[in-house]
A and B are shown apart, each in its own frame.
Chain A
Amino acid sequence: MPLVLRRLPARVFLAVMLAGSALITWYSLPYFDFGTLPPFVIEKLPVRFERLWLFSLRVHVAAAALSFPLCLLLLTRFLQRRPVLHRWLGRVAGVVVLFGLVPAGAVLAFDAKGGAVVAIGFLLSAAIVVSGMVYGIVTARRRDLVSHRRAMHHVVAQMSVAVVSRAMLVGFDFAGVDPDLAYVLALWVPVPLSALVVELRQPSFPRFFHELTLTIQRIRREISSSPRLARRPLVRLVARPGR
């Protein structure tokens, strides 16, 4: 396959995510108009700690507007071929994500629409971002670039949930899906799916899958070659533990 075609999905992803990030930033500008209340804020109020919630919302939005496009650009070959610049921009992104985006997002998660199910979804995404970012920094300092790449892909994948989730919400609205159900689906589908896609794209995944298949085949062979196990139904084994 030609190199251009091989790189096409990654380029399309970058372009769509940059456009999505710009769109989110554009629609988030009213959050910084201190004289009026945007619809999302009106919908949420009253919340338990109103000033903390509003402050967290503004920090989260500002941090996302800066860190998401920055992380996307850090994935480009242009910046990866300039290690000094890549390192410094990476440090900026790391600080903004770990000390702005994630803590503010965690505060917002506790007052999320949809209750505990949605709060857990946001916190899971935050946990993946934090672990990915910390592991990415550690591996970058060790010069383990394969692991660094994998960790940072997880960070960007979870950030991309912001765009995918909103696109899903718009689609669900057009389809007339109940907004409460749509909100849960638009979070719980892309969060685990993004993590899965990153793992599936790892160069080591086919080898892992091949080894897993061999292990399963070996276990099956062991079971079928043992006459005692083969004759005895599995249900009895489970039903009579310890015999």
Chain B
Amino acid sequence: MRDRVQSRLVTPLAQQESTRFSRGRPAPRERRVRVTDVAALVDGKGRSFLRFAVDVRFGSGDWREGDIDGCMYPESGAIYVKRGSEYRPAEFLLGKDLPAVTGVCEPSGAKS
């Protein structure tokens, strides 16, 4: 799973980042993917998923944990990332204006 998040989210993110003359945050020097669930969880529609976090590091500083929080559905390969209290498809971070998806990445029975 870590490899899929790496290849479908982290690598494309790093590829589209460059030094910009803007007030935007600079590109992190390093990113790492952590799978935060030991076992797969099941959402309200009975689909299993695993949550992950992407940590970042700027310069030689400490790792900043949970720069991106999200989840992945191993069966479909769909990746969602958390923005505020909502989850959007991972392509949102790559520049696609995609709306939030309800009911994903939330274990069944959990209150959002």
Stretch in contact with the other chain, from A8-16, A83-91, A93-101, A165-173: A165-173
How many chain-A residues does the 8 Å CB contact rule pick out?
28
CB–CB A42/B23 < 8 A: no
Residues of chain B from 17 to 36 with CB closer than 8 A to chain A in the complex: 17, 19-26, 29
Most buried by B among A28, A170, A173, A183: A173
Residues of chain A from 23 to 46 with CB closer than 8 A to chain B in the complex: 23-24, 27-28, 35-40, 42-43, 45-46
Contacts of B29 in A (CB 8 A): 176
CB–CB A179/B83 < 8 A: no
Contacts of A46 in B (CB 8 A): 83-84, 86
CB–CB A166/B58 < 8 A: no
CB–CB B21/A170 < 8 A: yes
Kindly identify which residue among B24, B59, B86 contacts A40, using a CB–CB cutoff of 8 Å.
B24
CB–CB A176/B60 < 8 A: yes
User: If the complex has contacts A36-B95, A38-B95, A45-B83, are A27 and B20 also in contact, measured as CB distance less than 8 A?
Assistant: yes
Instruction: Give A113 to B25 CA distance when docked, in angstroms.
Output: 9
Instruction: Give A70 to B61 CA distance when docked, in angstroms.
Output: 41
CB–CB A166/B21 < 8 A: yes
**B45 contacts the other chain (Cβ, under 8 Å)?**
no
CB–CB A176/B96 < 8 A: no
Closest to A166 in B: B21
**Contact digits for A141-176, partner B, Cβ 8 Å, 1 yes 0 no:** 000000000000000000000000111011001011
Residues of chain B from 72 to 112 with CB closer than 8 A to chain A in the complex: 83-84, 86, 92-93, 95-97
Contacts of B95 in A (CB 8 A): 36-39, 42
Contacts of B26 in A (CB 8 A): 169, 173, 179
Most buried by A among B16, B26, B97: B26
The smallest beta-carbon distance between A20 and chain B, in angstroms, is: 8
Kindly identify which residue among A23, A35, A183 contacts B23, using a CB–CB cutoff of 8 Å.
A183
The smallest beta-carbon distance between B104 and chain A, in angstroms, is: 17
Contacts of B22 in A (CB 8 A): 24, 27-28, 40, 166
CB–CB B61/A176 < 8 A: yes
Contacts of A179 in B (CB 8 A): 25-26, 58
The smallest beta-carbon distance between B66 and chain A, in angstroms, is: 15
Instruction: Give A173 to B92 CA distance when docked, in angstroms.
Output: 25
User: If the complex has contacts A36-B95, A38-B95, A170-B19, are A43 and B24 also in contact, measured as CB distance less than 8 A?
Assistant: yes
CB–CB B61/A24 < 8 A: no
**Contact digits for A69-87, partner B, Cβ 8 Å, 1 yes 0 no:** 0000000000000000000
Question: What are 28 A-B contacts defined by CB distance under 8 Å?
Answer: A23-B21, A24-B22, A27-B20, A35-B97, A36-B95, A36-B96, A37-B95, A39-B17, A39-B24, A39-B95, A40-B24, A43-B24, A43-B25, A46-B83, A46-B84, A113-B25, A166-B22, A169-B23, A169-B26, A170-B19, A175-B59, A176-B29, A176-B59, A176-B60, A176-B61, A177-B59, A178-B59, A178-B61
Residues of B within 8 A of A (CB): 16-17, 19-26, 29, 58-61, 83-84, 86, 92-93, 95-97
Q: Which 6 A-B pairs have the closest CB atoms?
A: A176-B59, A40-B24, A173-B26, A46-B84, A36-B95, A23-B21
